Amino acid sequence: MWKFIKKLFLILVLANILFIIFGIFFNPPITFTQLGGLIKYGKLQRDYIPYDEMGNNVKKAVIASEDQLFYSHNGFDYKQIEKAMKKNDKKGKVVRGGSTISQQTAKNIFLWQGRSWIRKGLEAIYTFIIEKIWGKDIILERYLNSIEMGQGVFGVEAASNYYFNKPAKDMTKSEAAWIAAVLPNPKKYDPKNPSPYLRKKHNWIMRQMNNIVLK
């Protein structure tokens, strides 16, 4: 039994190493989140595109909305994590997340959705590894290609076509900000029918985009 467990562990470690190396060159064939969307909504609308074909507007919008220190941190924004923990403790439930784009990428590519300590621990390990091995551009490309942006809609290219009938590289600043605005809850928010909250967030992202410099 012990030999079997040891072999299984080694196989899993090797598989993870190969998957991480694979991720340097290729987007994931499918993720747990995408599989969940396919099962729930009966569709998987996505179109992986290279980093250079995404356009700068959507990159700036997502960084402005999700992780403004993306280029300067090592995968973890400890101040945001501390703020999130304090706010969640005060409310007695999870009302704010402190995850960086790197952490979200690790979760989206390698793991599953959820808030268990096991998942969070694995997320931290994967985040550390991809920051060292992939680098910022690959992390951002994988994130923008895999992130859920609607019901069964994944990635900026599919989202741009779904909401605006155009490729991601042609999105205006305002359109890119709408895409970024839905990210906290893409199943709930809809740029085609924005709530007052979503309009307010859209305007905030538009202003923040002026401060984002792509590396």
User: What is the tens place of the pLDDT at every residue in 1-54?
Assistant: 777 676 766 777 788 888 899 999 999 999 989 998 899 888 899 999 999 999
Residue 201 counted as domain residue:
yes
User: What is the tens place of the pLDDT at every residue in 113-134?
Assistant: 877 888 889 999 999 999 999 9
Residue 11 counted as domain residue:
yes
Residue 90 counted as domain residue:
yes
Residue 214 counted as domain residue:
no
Domain span holding position 148: 2-209
User: What is the tens place of the pLDDT at every residue in 147-184?
Assistant: 999 889 999 999 999 999 999 999 999 999 999 999 88
Residue 93 counted as domain residue:
yes
Give the integer Cα–Cα distance in Å for 151 and 34. Answer: 10
Q: What is the pLDDT of residue 132?
A: 94
Q: What is the CATH number of the domain that holds 165?
A: 1.10.3810.10
Residue 215 counted as domain residue:
no
Please give the backbone phi and psi of residue 153, each rounded to the nearest 5 degrees, phi first: -110, 125
Instruction: With cut-offs at 50, 70 and 90, classify the pLDDT of residue 90.
Output: low
Number of domains in the chain: 1
Residue 91 counted as domain residue:
yes
